[in-house]
Amino acid sequence: MTTEGEPRIGTTVQAKAGGRVDPALLYVHAPVLLAAARAIVMNEAEAEDLVQTTLEIGLRRIGQLRDPAALRGWLLAIETREAFRLVRRLRQWVRLDIEVAEPVVTTPDPTDAIQVRHALASLPRRMRAAVVLHHLVGLSVAETAVALGVRDNTVKSQLKVGLSRLRAELGHE
């Protein structure tokens, strides 16, 4: 049972710009959402919860989507906002230093992947989110700025400083 205004799976929803979006299409983006969430929150359980929350919000608000072609970026923007909200809520209760138990292997050598994962973890959360969304997820600078709720120039400087810190941490200066 859905509440009034919420779409049912399998039904098409009219987007603001006039396009139609099938709510089931949100789930097509779940793997990308999970990969980005893992890199942003650095914890598997929190990443899975974050993706679930993102999809729930996306289903409730799919009628607000202006451009159906921008669905992935729209979902990543929701996810990023929710990730930062989660961190703020957790800080009220507890101070966490999260360790990654299982590295994501993105290179042929697992040792390199672990080093990259640790280097990413050393970046401030917003800077790490900018690097992940732009370089790992493949969003443009403008799309990353929208997802983070900042200006393009802020993303550019976060990317510049973030990549510089990653190079220094990995010994690639």
pTM of the model: 0.61
CA–CA dist 154, 139 (Å, integer)? 15
pLDDT band at 7 (very low <50, low <70, confident <90, very high): very low
What per-residue confidence (pLDDT) applies to 30? 92
Q: What is the mean pLDDT of residues 153-163?
A: 94
Q: How far is CA 112 from the centre of its chain?
A: 23
CA–CA dist 56, 43 (Å, integer)? 20
Surface-to-core class of residue 141, CB atoms within 10 Å of its CB (0-12 exposed, 13-18 middle, 19+ buried):
middle
The yes-or-no verdict on residue 23 having pLDDT over 70 is yes
Helices marked H in 94-151: 110-122, 125-131, 141-148
Please give the residue that has the higher pLDDT: either 131 or 3.
131
Q: What percent of the chain has pLDDT over 70?
A: 74
CA–CA dist 60, 6 (Å, integer)? 5
Q: How many residues are recorded in the chain?
A: 173
